[in-house]
Amino acid sequence: RVAVVGAGVSGLTATKCCLDEGLKPTCFEQSRDIGGLWRYTEHIEAGRPSLYPSVISNTSKEMSAFSDFPYPEDFPVFLPNAQLLDYLRRYAERFCLWEHIRFGTTVVSIQKRPDFATTGQWDVVTEADGKQTSHIFDAIMVCSGNFSEPSLPLHCFPGIEKFQGQYFHSRQYKHPDVFQGKRVLVVGMGNSGVDIAVEASRVATKVTVCTGRGAWVFSRVFDHGYPWDMVFNTRLMSLIRNSLPGPLSWGLINYRVNQRFKHENYGLQPEKSCLVREPVLNDELPSYILTGRITIKPGVKEFKDNSVVFHNCPEEEPIDIIVFCTGYNISFPFLEEAVVKVENKHASLYKYVFPTHLQRPTLAVLGLIKPLGAIMPVTEMQARWVTRVFKGLCRLPPQSVMEKEVNEKKKNQVRWFGLSFDEVLKTDCLVYMDKLASFIGAKPNLLGLLCRDPRLALSVFFGPCTPYQYRLGGPGRWEGARQAILTQWDRTLKPTRTRVPAGSSSPCPSLLTVMGFLLLLAAVVFGF
């Protein structure tokens, strides 16, 4: 018996993977519906993520699909939140997940049973309609997300107590009319901060975004009009990124992201361009800066009654409203602190999933990661691995080995990505997925594919690394995976290629077959 906490993206795929492995899941969802982050509500609900109605996915539908359930071909390439929620409903319906979800049920506490060292079992207390119930479960999958508890470090902003205007965290934002005729300051330059700044600039008198570190700005529309992640996240590109010496690899990326526009000229250049930053996905920011709708400034030095002073900028700038886009804290209020250790706003977890110190590996945290790519297939792969660990089909390394890897990863990523409270959660999506897939025997065998099915092998290596690749073989093999891969560009371009002139070319990126064979064979021979 497995308790799944939360019925968002992670909770749904966790429930499904439990069923696939013959486990008995019970999914507890405190609200009255599925969807988690992707279910929009006009009012902010305590303990739940909150999004604004204009939110659109930053990853394309083919890269964001669950690995055995492609999106409908008529869905747009990047999905408004309502359509992504519709996809989740279809997923729940297709795999009969509804009957395993208990809505309106809050998980109050999860504690080890007295005989945990031998059984690995947990005491779980839930509450529904004011009544508490106790349960015993053999394993726990924590899928509660990390977008519910806003981080608002006001002590880091001198003078904020003097400020006479309005300020709030981005979690409270819903509609831009609050900015009508106002002078707006957005603190922070993540995806939410830039989205809010762009929306505010359409009605506000002035919008300023302040950032101490800058950011690379990607457009959803990438080379030749294709989705950014279908071009960026390929096995060939990953091989290049991870084979070249670090400075050379990231020098090439810096050059590439500056081809669209020179970030330095827009005030966006990261402070240390040799360090990788999570890119901001926004199609409008550069043009809004160019037309004066948005101004980029350095970090805040001090707030005054009705103004702000920025670092290296002596003059005060008048403002009426501040939006703090300062991220979220990681919080598991139903767990004892000793179960999942959270330090400096990150949890120490092996492969971002398992606590390293438990005597029995019967508790896992899903979705507590920020891949440079889509989150949905990542959480699904985590769930596939976790359920097989629960069944005893996969084994974890000794505690000392896991702790050593966790500590090394923290050090390496702080050095690699730069210092920021959530940077240690970020990882290369494809490398991470391949690692987990290798644990369960689902990583694509390129040499075998090249011998058996050259066309498919070329698509797997040169094309986008869509999640269907992890259903070609091994546990959970899906008969439709090959066809899904070979038709992924058809589904991508179906909703946009709505007018096709006579004599037009093929909609899909071409592959240079002979060179493709040689490169793929070389990659396999040299150990990719």
Query: Using an 8 Å Cβ cutoff, are 110 and 335 in contact?
Result: yes
Mean pLDDT, to the nearest integer, of 124-152?
Answer: 95
Rounded Cα–Cα distance for residues 204 and 321 (Å): 10
pLDDT > 80? residue 287? yes
Q: Which CATH architecture has domain 152-326?
A: 3-Layer(bba) Sandwich (3.50)
Distance CA 323, CA 297 (A): 15
Per DSSP, 373 falls in state S
pLDDT of residue 523: 55
pTM for the complete prediction?
0.92
Does pLDDT of 299 surpass 60? yes
Can you say how many angstroms the Cα of residue 102 is from the centroid of all Cα atoms in its chain? Answer: 26
Given a contact cutoff of 8 angstroms between Cβ atoms, the answer to whether 42 and 36 are in contact is no
- Give start-end residues of each CATH 3.50.50.60 domain in the chain: 2-148+329-434, 152-326
Could you identify the residue written with the tokens 């629960």? 390
In the predicted structure, residue 473 carries a pLDDT above the cut 60: yes
Could you report the per-residue pLDDT of 182-236, keeping only the tens digit for each? 999 999 999 999 999 999 999 999 999 999 889 999 999 998 899 999 998 999 9
* 523 residue type, one letter: A
Least confident range from 104-108, 147-151, 393-397, 437-441: namely 147-151
Structure tokens belonging to residue 235: 């096995």
CA distance 37 to 192: 13
List Cβ neighbours of 359 (8 Å cut-off, separation of 6 or more). Answer: 116, 117, 120
Main-chain phi, psi angles of 521, to 5 degrees: -60, -40
In the prediction, which pLDDT does 274 show? Answer: 46
Spell out the long-range contacts of 341-344 with Cβ–Cβ below 8 A and sequence spacing 24 or more: 344/421
pLDDT over 90 for what percent of the chain? 74
- At residue 528, does pLDDT exceed 60? no
pLDDT higher than threshold 50 for residue 260: yes
**CATH for 2-148+329-434?**
3.50.50.60
Q: Which amino acid is at 298?
A: P
